[in-house]
Amino acid sequence: MERPREWLSRLAKYGQEHLLQHWDALTAAERESLLADIESIDLKEVALLYEALGRRGAPELPSDLGPPPAIRLHRESAAERKRAVEAGRRALAEGKVGMILVAGGQGTRLGFPHPKGLFPIGPLSRRTLFQVLVDRLLAVRRRHGVSIPLWILTSPATDAATRDYFRKHNYLGLPEEDVFFFCQGTMPAVDRATGKILLAERHRVALSPNGHGGMLAALHESGGLERAGERGIEYFFYGQVDNPLLPVCDERMIGYHLEYSSELTSLAVAKRGPEERVGHFVERAGSVQIIEYSDFPEELASQIDGDGRLVYWAGSIAVHVMNRAFLQDAADEAESLPYHAAWKKTPFVDERGERVEPTEPNSVKFERFIFDLLPRAHRPLVVEVARDEAFAPVKNADGAASDTPSSARAAMVNLHRRWLQQAGAHVADVPVEIHPLWADGPEEVAARIERGMVVERPTYFHTHCEE
Ligand code: UTP
């Protein structure tokens, strides 16, 4: 079969006819798969994005920036905290809260050959990221005697394996009717110098998930927002699958969100120093936005206030509470989330059909970010949380300088050791791990153990420890 003419002319209009360059060598099934990949691409959109973003440097920053409206730990009174926690508990007990977990990323930096959620992170239990997070959700559900439905964002890269995993593991203890998977879209990687779409194989386009911002359109299009409405969900707790310390459905955060009548609340940690590479929350003309560290000039990042603290202290940990109505409004204009361009290394096959492993970023990838919803919020709020209680990202393989499985496991062990110590235990320098259904915080640990208890050996506290 000749190269299909109709496709060739469609591709030629955007300078992408090379996508069919290996056509003659493909089997019928491979040709079909290639055409399906091409069909999924909006060629015009890719051309416009490359033109607008592909070669651009850092965006210019407006000059009227300030720190965001925030609840800070060192300024929070016990009474305020109590009020917020009570408000959060009420919303949870009334069944108004659902959870969104984004798990569509390819996890390329971790180099794990399965969806990241399947990574065995438990320091002693080796429970997977999905298990650790669902265990916490089960604990919250039990504490409030309520069902909290879970929406899991997948992508073509993770969808089948994720669904399969949940099915085989009995939905990790959740009722099946409380778990919803929804799959996000993809975007092609293009050559950085020419804008030509890259082929991952002779019959496959180099497609990757379109960023966690793809969550919005996917939730809407899958009927998830509608279903949430039918189930009486007013608020979503949103988190990422690669943070085993994610404070699942945190009462305090939900409570402040309600007390402040915010539509979109974000958790932040105080930056370790001016140079820490996290997204910065800033305020501008009444709206909050996140500026990536790479776009944030050093002179702003190192500004100090009258108390000697960083003015731009708030680092994003990608945890939010979002009103369903706010998401619905935004989803009605899903195209309103802009694309960002990033230069990345993307392996590809060249015109000879040979695979090339680039050593430098050779491609542009286009992604939407969920935090671009922030400027739409009329009353955005940032809530500070202690880093060691809420944030231990798993981004890189062991051996890297930070955000590795080892650093996340150490953070889990340290937190659980502190809970035990607060409850009066003496814990030797050994790893400990606590299953959330055994205890999901220092108070629950205190109810479980005798003061003065000695922990000398590596110990995994879980429900079977009760006997
Ligand atoms: P990251 O962009 O930090 O990491 O995603 P990643 O995609 O998992 O891994 P790399 O960059 O390829 O190494 C942060 C969170 O957002 C989700 C990820 O699953 C992770 O929970 N995500 C990211 C999506 O759900 N979809 C995307 O398109 C991108």
Give how far Cα 339 sits from Cα of 48, 184, 212, 374, Å.
11, 14, 11, 15
- Between the CA of 103 and the centroid of ligand 1 the distance, in Å, is 7
Tokens of 189: 């990687």
Does 442 score more than 50 pLDDT?
yes
Angle at 315 between CA 291 and CA 236, to 5 degrees: 90
- State the burial class of residue 456 (Cβ atoms within 10 Å of its Cβ: 0-12, 13-18, 19+): exposed
Query: Are residues 171 and 340 in contact, defined by beta-carbon separation less than 8 angstroms?
Result: no
Give how far Cα 116 sits from Cα of 64, 107, 422, 448, 467, Å.
39, 6, 32, 32, 34
Which helix (H) or strand (E) is 289 found in, with range?
A: strand 287-291
Beta strands in 368-462 (DSSP E): 381-384, 426-427, 432-434, 454-455, 459-461
- State the burial class of residue 6 (Cβ atoms within 10 Å of its Cβ: 0-12, 13-18, 19+): exposed
Query: Are residues 256 and 265 in contact, defined by beta-carbon separation less than 8 angstroms?
Result: yes
Residue nearest to atom 16 of ligand 1 (CA): 212
Looking at residue 3, its pLDDT comes to 78
CB 233: neighbour CB atoms within 10 A? Answer: 20
Output the pTM of the full model. Answer: 0.95
189: which residues sit within 8 A by CB, 6+ positions away? Answer: 197, 198, 206, 207, 208, 344, 346, 348, 363, 364, 365
- Between the CA of 104 and the centroid of ligand 1 the distance, in Å, is 6
Strand 381-384 to 70-71 pairing: parallel
- Between the CA of 241 and the centroid of ligand 1 the distance, in Å, is 9
Does 465 score more than 50 pLDDT?
no
Looking at residue 62, its pLDDT comes to 77
Candidate from 106, 110, 222, 365 with most ligand 1 atoms within 8 A of CB, to mutate: 106
Average the pLDDT over 400-416 and give the result: 97
- Between the CA of 242 and the centroid of ligand 1 the distance, in Å, is 8
Candidate from 101, 102, 133 with most ligand 1 atoms within 8 A of CB, to mutate: 102
Indicate if the alpha-carbon torsion angle 158, 159, 165, 170 is positive or negative. positive
DSSP 8-class letter at 46: H
DSSP 8-class letter at 224: H
Q: What value does the mean pLDDT of the chain take?
A: 95
Does 56 score more than 70 pLDDT?
no
CA distance linking residue 169 with residue 37, whole number of Å: 32
pLDDT digit string, tens, across residues 81-92? 999 999 999 999
Tokens of 357: 């492993």
Amino acid at 356: V
Which of the pair, 3 or 228, is modelled with greater confidence? 228
Does 396 score more than 70 pLDDT?
yes
> DSSP readout, 155-204?
-TTTHHHHHHHHHHTGGGGS-GGGEEEEE--EEE-EETTT-PBPEEETTE
Looking at residue 412, its pLDDT comes to 98
Residue corresponding to tokens 């035990």: 420
pLDDT digit string, tens, across residues 279-290? 999 999 889 999
Does 467 score more than 50 pLDDT?
no
Residue nearest to atom 15 of ligand 1 (CA): 240
In the chain, the domains with their CATH numbers are: 63-394 (3.90.550.10), 404-467 (no CATH)
Buried b (16+ CB within 10 A) or exposed e, 20-47: bbbbeebeeebbebbbebbeebebeebb
pLDDT digit string, tens, across residues 134-157? 999 999 999 999 999 999 999 999
DSSP 8-class letter at 114: S
Candidate from 151, 182, 212 with most ligand 1 atoms within 8 A of CB, to mutate: 212
pLDDT digit string, tens, across residues 353-372? 999 999 999 999 999 999 99
CB 304: neighbour CB atoms within 10 A? Answer: 10
Q: Is the CB of 106 under 6 A from ligand 1?
A: yes
Ramachandran region, residue 308 (left: φ > 0; alpha: ψ -120 to 50; beta: rest): left
CA distance linking residue 39 with residue 42, whole number of Å: 8
- Between the CA of 217 and the centroid of ligand 1 the distance, in Å, is 16
Tokens of 418: 């502190």
- The partner residues of 365 in beta bridges, in order of sequence, read 342
Residue nearest to atom 5 of ligand 1 (CA): 105
- Between the CA of 209 and the centroid of ligand 1 the distance, in Å, is 9
Query: Are residues 267 and 317 in contact, defined by beta-carbon separation less than 8 angstroms?
Result: yes
pLDDT digit string, tens, across residues 90-133? 999 999 999 999 999 999 899 999 999 999 999 999 999 999 99
Tokens of 300: 């702003």
- Atom of ligand 1 at shortest distance to CA of 102? 25
Residue 466 pLDDT class (50, 70, 90 cuts): very low
Q: Is the CB of 211 under 6 A from ligand 1?
A: yes
Residue 4 pLDDT class (50, 70, 90 cuts): confident
Ramachandran region, residue 254 (left: φ > 0; alpha: ψ -120 to 50; beta: rest): alpha
Q: pLDDT above 70 covers what percent of the chain?
A: 97
Residue corresponding to tokens 């050093």: 298
Residue 267 pLDDT class (50, 70, 90 cuts): very high
Q: Is the CB of 108 under 6 A from ligand 1?
A: yes
181: which residues sit within 8 A by CB, 6+ positions away? Answer: 151, 152, 154, 159, 162, 163, 166
Does 434 score more than 70 pLDDT?
yes
Query: 3-state class of 105 per DSSP?
Result: coil
- Atom of ligand 1 at shortest distance to CA of 115? 19
DSSP 8-class letter at 307: T
Residue 330 pLDDT class (50, 70, 90 cuts): very high
Strand 264-270 to 381-384 pairing: parallel
- Between the CA of 54 and the centroid of ligand 1 the distance, in Å, is 21
Q: Is the CB of 102 under 6 A from ligand 1?
A: yes
CA nearest neighbour of 166 among 211, 103, 106: 103
Does 45 score more than 60 pLDDT?
yes
